[in-house]
Structure 1
Amino acid sequence: MLGIIRVLTHNDQGFVDMHGNAITSFYHIPTISRCIPEQYQGVHDEATKAQAIPKIVALAKELEERGAKALLISCAADPGVAEARAAVTIPVLGAGTCVAAVARSLGAHVGVLNLTGTTPPSLRNVLGDAFFQEIAPQGIENTTQLQTPAGKAAAIAALRELECCCDVVALACTGFNTMGLAQEMRPLLSIPIVDPIEASGAIAQQLFLGDDEYARVKK
């Protein structure tokens, strides 16, 4: 079982389960999803990241105790990945490093679509010299704003700009998965789009091959 840590607080468990359900659907990995408390706008700057880290560590310990065999912190800024790895004995993945690793394998000029500001350091470090361009949707300050018509339009416009100069796009916010951006835009773009949740599932799958629970879900 893969434990999914959502850094956006939400009272609807169906919403919390969305990223885990996507991974199960694509890769047949059983998941359990929980969100950290009291962060209704998620992690979108250094202050909210600092607030989230101890909550992420606490949730990592809880999910390990509940039987998770690996963890995914569902945020492309990878908040708390190092701290969680120090606190638990199971593998901990960050959505940012996962999307960067897959994007780098697909192109030499990677464009990064951020939520706000600049590309997260963990993602930038993995991209190395493949990092080529970065952009964020205009007028967006946090992940909840992506789930609006204006947020969607801004994200699509930013994608179009990256298409002009890059050979692959890495989506550097898991909120883009929530809004289904990659699935909608892949038929319309001339370059590959790498979704952070899909990329995380592809890498997590390597940890579950041969696992009895994984085999049951796959059937």
Structure 2
Amino acid sequence: MTNKGVGILNPHFKIGLIRVVTLSDEQMLNLHGQLIEHYFPELQVESRCIDAQPTGIHDEQTEQLAVPKIIKLAKEWQGLDAIVVSCANDPAVKELREELSIPVIGAGESTALLATRYGQTFGVLGITEEIPRGYRKTFGDRIVGNCLPEGIHSTLDLPTTEGKKSVTAKALELKELGAEVIALACTGMSTIGIAKELEQVCHIPVIDPVMAEGLMTYFECLRKE
């Protein structure tokens, strides 16, 4: 399930990308990897998903179920230059960094770090009641409002018309509360490509987590070369 890179450069680094939602549709499984390859043609991304989590990670219980699955999948994967856990809560990232000799990149940490380039106050927009720890660690007390749009319970709610309306309404609310940057806190929002739409509506930077994890991965691979 390797995606073919796009652009003038040949793929140079082999990346393993872990989806934390169980997907049987190969197109959906490979979507985040294809986005990363589009942004960074030197990265060749193979995507795999964990088992038995059809709604992904959306609370503490589903994260606890996912962590050992992520660790097992990552440790069995051979011949990689880096691993990406494509989830804004960065499940198992800390544990894998302690056990693996290659870079391990989490979407949440990457998004939060990139967001600090564009402002001083932050709106975090995701699918959980609690703001993911990577964002809290990076932003501290500079977060405005809460994270969760109305009526959103899992990543499956995002592609619907009502889901997109709810995400847009929450983004506008965060801007009104003083956010200079919106950091998306669910990679499912990358799946529906909503970052550019939110920027057009809110007129402030909106950080896409898949683009951010790709950027961090590319940097880490270059640094290790």
Superposition TM-score, scaled by structure 1 size: 0.91
Residue 30 (str. 1) matches residue 44 (str. 2): yes
Contact 2:186 2:209 in 1 (8 A): yes
2:100 corresponds to which residue?
88
What is the Cα deviation at residue 134 of structure 1?
2.7
What is the rounded CA distance, in whole Å, between the counterparts of 2:224 and 2:136 in structure 1? 32
Residue 45 (str. 1) matches residue 49 (str. 2): no
What is the Cα deviation at residue 152 of structure 1?
1.0
Residue 58 (str. 1) matches residue 72 (str. 2): yes
Residue 181 (str. 1) matches residue 208 (str. 2): no
What is the Cα deviation at residue 210 of structure 1?
8.3
Partner letter of residue 148 of structure 1?
T
What is the Cα deviation at residue 139 of structure 1?
0.9
Partner letter of residue 221 of structure 2?
F
2:22 corresponds to which residue?
9
Q: Secondary structure at the match of 1:135?
A: coil
Contact 1:109 1:131 in 2 (8 A): yes
2:184 corresponds to which residue?
171
Q: Percent identity?
A: 40
Superposition TM-score, scaled by structure 2 size: 0.88
Contact 1:170 1:193 in 2 (8 A): yes
Contact 1:53 1:83 in 2 (8 A): no
Taking the TM superposition and a 5 Å limit, the aligned residue runs for 1:1-219 are 1-28=14-41, 29-63=43-77, 65=78, 67-164=79-176, 165-209=178-222
Higher share of residues assigned helix? 1
What is the Cα deviation at residue 48 of structure 1?
0.5
Partner letter of residue 147 of structure 2?
I
Partner letter of residue 78 of structure 1?
D
What is the rounded CA distance, in whole Å, between the counterparts of 1:56 and 1:2 in structure 2? 15
What is the Cα deviation at residue 50 of structure 1?
0.5
What is the Cα deviation at residue 145 of structure 1?
1.0
What is the rounded CA distance, in whole Å, between the counterparts of 1:82 and 1:208 in structure 2? 18
What is the rounded CA distance, in whole Å, between the counterparts of 2:19 and 2:201 in structure 1? 29
Partner letter of residue 138 of structure 1?
E
CA-atom RMSD, angstroms? 1.6
What is the rounded CA distance, in whole Å, between the counterparts of 2:102 and 2:223 in structure 1? 17
What is the Cα deviation at residue 211 of structure 1?
8.8
Deviations 1:182-208 (A, max 9, x none): 022323321000011111111111123
- Name structure 1 gaps, 5 residues minimum: 213-219
Q: Secondary structure at the match of 2:158?
A: helix
